[in-house]
């Protein structure tokens, strides 16, 4: 039996809600720890994920290949009985996820707590300091940060040896990877536990051998998105033309601004704001930040709000082109 029975995700944002839903889908007791003002938003995200998971199952029913995040890593072919079981698991997950603002309730008997709050060091530190008052001795603590390394926060956790990074890609039931990265003080056995958890929820664990801002995925993705944003900020081309250029020339299913919409403009803005040049009015980083801030002020947050660089049907699943039938 797996050591993981109860999982808590702190923050029910785009990825936090997905991690919680995937954990519940895989049979774990799953909690989202949220602020009072964000509870309803988290509930709406869970309901939206229900539709997207069911659409993915329907896609497999129509003859599409097995989606490993839903079927398990070894599954090669799905029967009708399998598909009905997956549908029931989606309904069970939606019904069984607990959303709470109570730290004591959430942390009680938790095997793993994953921090998935905004990419703001001050916010994360405040969360870790509060969690330290409630976590039990056995609890492993992880961050889902996409750019910030665990050594920045280890001393605030009260359990640096049990603290590591578990970074998930967006749409985790489709892009079912988990980057597993410790810091110098992480006990190796908890790195192994991180790998075990990833496999338990149908993810492919990717070991990051030493700390690296951006990990593997974002170390490649961020320069790509930055280049696109700079072309836009300089007035070289508009986002749709930039996306069209990339997709036609490389045969990629999505352009950079479509990816930014999926990640969410607030997240991209937070990451860009870390740059020291973001405060210099003469820098391109500053111009990019201001372009993003204008869209955020207009409520154009990307897929999470239904509009960013493009408009979206919130219940539509975003399956890459090579998955479409």
- Residue 274, classed as helix, strand or coil, is coil
Three-state DSSP string of 165-234: EEEECCCCCCCCEEEEECCCCCCHHHHHHHHHHHHHCCCEEEECCCCCCCCCHHHHHHHHHHHHHHHHHC
- Given 155, 180, 207, which residue is the final one in a domain? 207
| 197 and 247 both lie in a single domain | no
**Under 8 Å between Cβ of 34 and 44:** no
Which CATH number do you get for residue 233?
1.10.1040.10
| 183 and 57 both lie in a single domain | yes
Any domain includes 254: yes
CA distance 79 to 57: 12
DSSP-derived pairing of the beta strands 163-168 and 140-143: parallel
| 230 and 183 both lie in a single domain | no
| 285 and 138 both lie in a single domain | no
| 149 and 286 both lie in a single domain | no
| 196 and 226 both lie in a single domain | no
Q: Look at residue 287 and tell me whether its pLDDT is greater than 70.
A: yes
Q: Look at residue 147 and tell me whether its pLDDT is greater than 90.
A: no
Query: How many structural domains are present in the chain?
Result: 2
Confidence (pLDDT) at 193: 98
| 124 and 32 both lie in a single domain | yes
CA distance 63 to 49: 22
% pLDDT > 90, the chain: 83
Q: Look at residue 319 and tell me whether its pLDDT is greater than 60.
A: no
- Given 182, 207, 232, which residue is the final one in a domain? 207
Which residue is catalytic, options 50, 159, 162, 167?
167
Q: Does 269 participate in catalysis according to the annotation?
A: no
- Of 14-28, 150-164, 200-214, 272-286, the range with the lowest mean pLDDT is 272-286
| 127 and 264 both lie in a single domain | no
Confidence (pLDDT) at 99: 98
Q: 239-273, pLDDT tens digit by residue? A: 999 999 999 999 999 999 999 998 889 988 988 88
Q: Look at residue 320 and tell me whether its pLDDT is greater than 60.
A: no
Which CATH number do you get for residue 73?
3.40.50.720
| 41 and 66 both lie in a single domain | yes
Q: 168-193, pLDDT tens digit by residue? A: 998 999 999 999 999 999 999 999 99
Residue (of 234, 239, 310, 222) closest to 274 by Cα position? 222
Any domain includes 247: yes
Across the chain, mean pLDDT equals 93
| 256 and 309 both lie in a single domain | yes
From the CB of residue 152, how many other CB atoms can be counted at a distance below 10 Å? Answer: 16
Residue 314 banded pLDDT, cuts 50, 70, 90: low
| 96 and 224 both lie in a single domain | no
CA distance 266 to 117: 12
| 125 and 235 both lie in a single domain | no
The token duo for 6 is 């109860």
pTM of model > 0.95: no
Give the domain range for residue 318: 220-323
Any domain includes 318: yes
Q: 292-312, pLDDT tens digit by residue? A: 999 999 999 998 789 999 998
Running DSSP on this structure, what letter comes out for residue 64?
Answer: P
């Amino acid at each position: 039996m797996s050591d993981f029975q109860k999982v808590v995700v702190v923050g029910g944002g785009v990825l936090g809600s997905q991690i919680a839903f995937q954990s519940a889908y895989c049979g774990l007791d799953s909690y989202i720890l949220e602020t009072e003002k964000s509870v309803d938003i988290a509930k709406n995200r869970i309901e939206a994920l229900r539709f997207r998971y069911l659409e993915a199952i329907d896609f497999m029913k129509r003859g599409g290949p097995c989606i490993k995040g839903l079927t398990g890593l070894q599954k090669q072919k799905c029967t009708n009985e399998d598909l009905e079981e997956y549908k029931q698991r989606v309904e069970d997950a939606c019904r069984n996820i607990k959303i709470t603002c109570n730290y004591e309730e959430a942390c009680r008997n938790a095997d793993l707590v994953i921090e998935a709050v905004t990419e703001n060091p001050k916010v994360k530190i405040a969360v870790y300091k509060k969690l330290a008052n409630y976590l039990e001795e056995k609890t492993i603590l992880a961050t889902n940060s996409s750019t910030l390394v665990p050594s920045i926060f280890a001393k605030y956790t009260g359990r640096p040896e049990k603290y590591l990074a578990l970074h998930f890609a967006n749409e985790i039931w489709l892009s079912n990877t988990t980057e597993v990265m410790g810091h110098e003080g992480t006990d190796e056995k908890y790195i192994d536990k991180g790998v075990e958890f990833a496999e338990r929820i149908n993810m492919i664990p990717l070991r990051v051998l030493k700390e690296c801002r951006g990990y593997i995925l974002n170390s490649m993705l961020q320069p790509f998105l930055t280049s696109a944003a700079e072309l836009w900020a300089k007035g070289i081309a508009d986002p749709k033309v930039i996306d069209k250029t990339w997709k036609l020339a490389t045969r990629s299913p999505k352009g950079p601004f479509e990816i930014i919409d999926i990640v969410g403009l607030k997240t991209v803005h937070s990451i860009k704001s870390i740059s020291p040049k973001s405060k210099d009015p003469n820098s391109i980083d500053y111009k990019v930040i201001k372009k993003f801030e204008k869209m955020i002020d207009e409520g154009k947050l990307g897929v999470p709000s239904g509009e960013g660089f493009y408009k979206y049907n919130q219940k539509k699943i975003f399956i890459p082109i090579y998955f479409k039938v």
